[in-house]
Structure formats: structure tokens, C-alpha cells
Amino acid sequence: MVVYNPIWIQFILYVAIVSFPCLSGYMFYLAYEALPKSGLSGAGIFIFLGAGVAYISYIGLLLAKFVPAKVVFDDSQFTVEIKGTKNSYAWSDIAEVKNYEISQILKLVDSSGVTIYVVDHMTPGYKSFAEKVSESVGI
């Protein structure tokens, strides 16, 4: 089985990853502008929105390295290919699985704390990969 983002999805993800920090900064700027006119109640809305977009930006930065990744997996192992570099892992190499339900990403970490792979729930092939991770390691 294969898990990867087609080129058009990669393009959209990269545009979002670049745009969201700018949007967050703009929300905080609007809060700064609204503060003298409408007080904290008016600025609070923009602060709340800015913080939400900043969180989405953080998730995007976690995902950015792995947007072009292609993962091929079977019952014994999985191989992560990023920009021509292939690294193979046994399922037992996964020491920690972080399933961020709110942001819809799955993060695999090895025993030394290095991130092996981060995948979005909307990535084609995600469901079968997550089922295999759950079966092999547990989520």
C-alpha cells in the first residue's frame, strides 16, 4: 500500500503553510487596531482568531517536511521516501504514536525521539496506513 499527496495537494498544502502565519499576524494586527476603538471586547475576537490560526500554523509547520513524502508499507515494514531519500522501518521501530484528533494528524516517533513521519488524515492512503499502525503499535 502507498500513502502520498499528489502534486496538486502538495501545492495547496504549501500555499496554506505559507499563508496561515501571515493570516495569524494580520489577525493580531487587527486586534491592535481595534483595541483603542472598541476596547478589549472588540480586540478579543481578533486575538482569539489569531491564536486559532497560529495553532493551525504550528500544525502546518509540523507537517511541512512530510508533505512530499511517499510511504510504502506492508505487513513487516514501511519505507518513508522524502526527496529521493528512503528510510525503512520495522513496525517495532515506532516507539510513540501521537494522534492529534483536533488537527487531524498522526505523528510517528522512534525510540530516540526523532519524528519518523507525520501524515494528515486527508492524505490518500491514510486510512489503511493508520489501521496498520493501530494494529502493529496501537494508537
Question: 46-87: per-residue pLDDT in tens?
Answer: 999 999 999 999 999 989 999 999 999 999 999 999 999 999
Residue 139 confidence (pLDDT): 62
Distance separating alpha carbons of residues 99 and 119, to the nearest angstrom: 10
Under 8 Å between Cβ of 136 and 96: no
The confidence score (pLDDT) of residue 138 equals 66
110 touches 95 (CB < 8 A) = yes
| 11: pLDDT strictly greater than 90 | yes
**Structural domain spans, the chain:** 2-64, 70-136
Using 50, 70 and 90 to split pLDDT, how confident is the model at 1? confident
CATH 2.30.29.30 fits 70-136, yes or no: yes
* 3 state DSSP class of 7: helix
- Provide the whole-model pTM: 0.81
